[in-house]
Structure 1
Amino acid sequence: MIEKQVRYLVLEALRKAYPDGLTLTWLETILNYYRVFTTQRDLRRKVIKYLLEKEYIELIDVELPAFEENVKQLRITPKGLQLLEGKVIDTEVEKV
């Protein structure tokens, strides 16, 4: 199932950016690089929702001095890092 693999790719991209996060736009760009075109909003929503609910990722506000509003980013959590290291098992996340 593609959802399982997209979940893994999102976690892997966030691991590489850790301890910083990535915006949803950056994540979409990375997925497009891997030829995973997530133009279906439902797929993106499902993947992000699942990872947030499982507490593998978190939504953070980043203050940028040049902007009046905070920018939202997704960041991998310690639990998400443990999943990628094989210390946590989740059959709904499939390594690519």
Structure 2
Amino acid sequence: MWSHRFAVLHIASASMARALGTTPDDPRVARAVDAYLENWSDLAPLDSLRALLPAARRLSPIHRALSWRRVLDAVPINAVEPEWHDGESWWIQDFRSDRPRGDD
């Protein structure tokens, strides 16, 4: 299974924005994102890394859906609360949405 560090960044930045009562484009969130991206600044300039974020954001729900599939495949379904049974489809719907969850 694949993973990409930028694909998971959306969840962290959206959670931070919610906790701060703001949006993901808030300067405080942007500073945290930049601090995260600094880890890879030896591979590419920060501006180039930032330019990758829209694509990573777009693919993030697919990453999450596949993660849910792995979890649900590995755990007996009766051990999973019913409200979590559709986690995979929830993220697929997010991918198909014009306004992805977490961006509001």
Give the TM-score normalised by the residue count of structure 1: 0.39
Q: Quick check: which one's strand share is greater?
A: 1
Higher radius of gyration, 1 or 2? 2
Q: Quick check: which one's helix share is greater?
A: 2
- Higher RCO (CA-CA < 8 Å; seq separation 6+): 1
